[in-house]
Amino acid sequence: MQRADGEQNEPELKKSRKLPALNLPPMSSKPWFVVATKADLPETQANFAALQSYLQGVEQDLLEHPSGMQHAWKGRIDVVPVSAIRGEGIERIPGLVLDLLNE
């Protein structure tokens, strides 16, 4: 902030306590999987096939990880087709989460 007398005045925010550095692993290092909704709609089939081949490309390191990070998590990327509206296909999800937690 510029004062009328030309002195620099620290903005109020800068005076507040600095946050400590984050030493947590980056998001990109975390395992993940994809839940693909609308599997009950026939018109989503082509998109689903495209999604599967994209994920295979990422898994096989042929395509960039979606985070753009070099040391991103490398593992099996599952994709679960579901009908969110009918609550179908969701049974696999808790098991997938447990597998990834126990990795």
Ligand X SMILES: Nc1nc2c(ncn2[C@@H]2O[C@H](COP(=O)(O)OP(=O)(O)OP(=O)(O)O)[C@@H](O)[C@H]2O)c(=O)[nH]1
Q: Give the residues lining the site for ligand X (CB under 6 A).
A: 37-38, 40-41, 83-85
Tokens of 35: 């839940």
If the CB atoms of residues 52 and 83 are measured against ligand X, the closer one turns out to be 83
- Least distance between ligand X and beta carbon 31 (Å): 22
Dihedral (CA of 23, 33, 97, 99) sign: negative
If the CB atoms of residues 59 and 83 are measured against ligand X, the closer one turns out to be 83
Q: What gap in Å lies between CA 35 and CA 39, rounded to an integer?
A: 10
For 99, the 3-state DSSP assignment is helix
Binding mask 19-58 for Mg ion (x = CB under 5 A): ------------------x---------------------
If the CB atoms of residues 37 and 52 are measured against Mg ion, the closer one turns out to be 37
Q: What gap in Å lies between CA 94 and CA 39, rounded to an integer?
A: 19
